[in-house]
Structure 1
Amino acid sequence: MPSSPSALASHPEDLHPSLWRASQLARHHARTLDTGYAALSAELPGGGWPVGALIDLLVQQAGVGEMRLLAPALGATGGIGGIGNKRPIALVQPPHVPNGPGLDYIGVPLSRLMLVKAAKTVDALWAAEQILRAGSCGALLFWGQHVQTSSLRRLHLAAQSSDTLFVMIRPLAAAKDASPALLRLALRSCGDGLSVDIVKRRGPLRTEPLSLPLQPTPVLFSRHARTARRPLAPVAARGLQAEVAA
């Protein structure tokens, strides 16, 4: 450990791993997943998506490209914790029916997906918390509209006990609300990809958006999407005990 105050100021992480200088990206986050986009990974503490923490993706509209953005990381979640490559990916309250061929095209096969639909937001929140506490899924994506900060904090705490990639996908308007998320990105469609604004990160402010090209794909979410040969099995939110305890 540095012995002088000036040395501590230059290397605050030596005083405590959760400290960082405001002019630099935080170095401490033991678990990250590469985003698959070099320009984005270079702007994130630890060089990727934080695992075991809340990530906020604030979207112009559902289906703007969030699945394609997350696809490289979703493909890598199976190996986290040495559990193999078959850990499921939970989709909680997706906006429309997920399209099997489209998801398979980006490397997210239906065999790994678990769809959770609930009539009430409180039930969806309960289901997401149980999934996180069980740690049975490699990733959890939750499309939410109006979620209270207290509920976000509860989910963030549950995520910290897991090695799950946990992403809340919410409207752009939620950017003005407080959030315990370690990382918050605002996504807008832009040409053949996404314009990404970094709303919050453990590091300096970035005023200019990132422009990320996305690979064109078949539709991923649609009101009239055709399912693949092996359709998703909807899971009732209050009936998840057996699923998450497995």
Structure 2
Amino acid sequence: MTSERAPAPESLHPSLWRASQLARADVRCIDTGHVALSSQLPGGGWPVGTLIDMLVQQPGIGEIRLLAPALARVAKRCIVMVEPPQAPQAIALASLGLAPSQLIWIRSPRSADALWSVEQVLRSGSCGAVLFWQPHIRAESLRRLHLAAQHGETLFFMFRPLAAAQDTSPAPLRLSLRPAAGGIEIGFVKRRGPQRDEPLFLPMSVPSMTPTVPPRHVPTPRPVQVPAVEQRRADELVR
């Protein structure tokens, strides 16, 4: 009696996978630019056309540097930043390979206006990436944004406080970000694959924003020929 090998779960349906392995991505993925991180994500990168939940301990810990390699890859289309905690700095973004001319900054007087703006941008499918900072958002609003992201191939990152990790989210990928000496610690709150309790440390170097200026050439003056008579008089004065 011969035993037949069980078929691979993904051969039965793309949304199935074994608990001991990472799921196959059913959407296109963009390389993160960090080998250690890409190896821990289904599809080996950031999925497009879906909500990615980034749970940050505090703004400015290196989240933009973390995303910069992927953002640079989709920068042929505009990158939209909605309600960032600080005004985007053109020089800093340019040092990360992001041309300021490709960036759109949206500020809204009300949260409802910001949500409406993000939803419209996602549904248009005209942008390479959308980054949205929102400390408080309802579950139904998250679902609307997740559905809107599926209308195109846009990288969509939602930045929320770390405490939101306890809330439910339709995002298939949820990561926690904490500062660490010389880099950042990434926790895998939710992913389509095995649970990982230990955070992943990624070193983050701070790019130099000081332009390199070549040293200025200062010509050396040519020696002046002093007549012999004057030189003799000068020697007598020294004596």
TM-score, normalised relative to structure 1: 0.81
Choose which of 33, 52, 76 in structure 1 pairs with 2:73.
Answer: 76
Deviation at 1:62, TM superposition (A): 1.0
SS of 2:6's equivalent in the other structure is helix
Q: Percent identity?
A: 57
1:22: Cα distance to partner? 1.4
Mapped to 2, the partners of 1:34 and 1:103 lie a distance apart of 19
Alignment of 1:32-181 (within 5 A): 32-78=29-75, 85=76, 87-181=77-171
Aligned residue pair count: 207
RMSD over equivalenced CA pairs, Å = 1.4
Q: Which one has more relative contact order, counting CA pairs under 8 Å at least 6 apart? A: 1
User: 1:140-197 CA distances to partner (integer Å, 9 max, x unpaired)?
Assistant: 0000100111101110011011100000011000000000011111001101110110
Contact preservation (8 Å) 2:19, 2:194: yes
Task: Decide whether aligned partners of structure 1 residues 65 and 6 sit closer, same or farther in structure 2, where only a CA change above 3 A counts.
Answer: same
Cα distance, 1:6 vs. partner?
5.1
Secondary structure of 1:212 counterpart: strand
Matched, 1:7 2:11: no
TM-score by length of structure 2 reads 0.84
SS in structure 2 at match of 1:98: coil
Contact 1:60–1:171 at 8 Å: present in 2 too?
yes
Q: Which runs of 5+ in 2 are unaligned?
A: 210-239
Provide runs of 4+ in structure 1 moved above 4 Å. Answer: none
Conserved? CA contact 2:25–2:47, under 8 Å: no
Distance 2:151 2:158 in 1: 17
Q: 2:193 aligns with which of 189, 203, 212?
A: 203
- In structure 2, how many angstroms separate the alpha carbons of the residues matched to 1:148 and 1:100? 32
Q: What stretches of structure 1 of length at least 5 have no aligned partner? A: 79-84, 220-246
Is contact 1:101–1:218 with CA below 8 Å preserved after alignment?
Answer: no
| TM-superposed deviation, 1:121 | 0.8
- SS of the residue corresponding to residue 20 of structure 1 reads coil
**Distance (Å, rounded) in 1 between the aligned partners of 2:182 and 2:26:** 32
Distance in 2, Cα, partners of 1:148 & 1:217: 36
Taking the aligned partners of 1:119 and 1:5, their CA distance within structure 2 comes to 62
Q: Is the 8 A contact 1:89 1:137 kept in 2?
A: yes
Q: Retained in 2: the 8 A contact 1:29–1:45? A: no
| Larger-Rg structure | 2
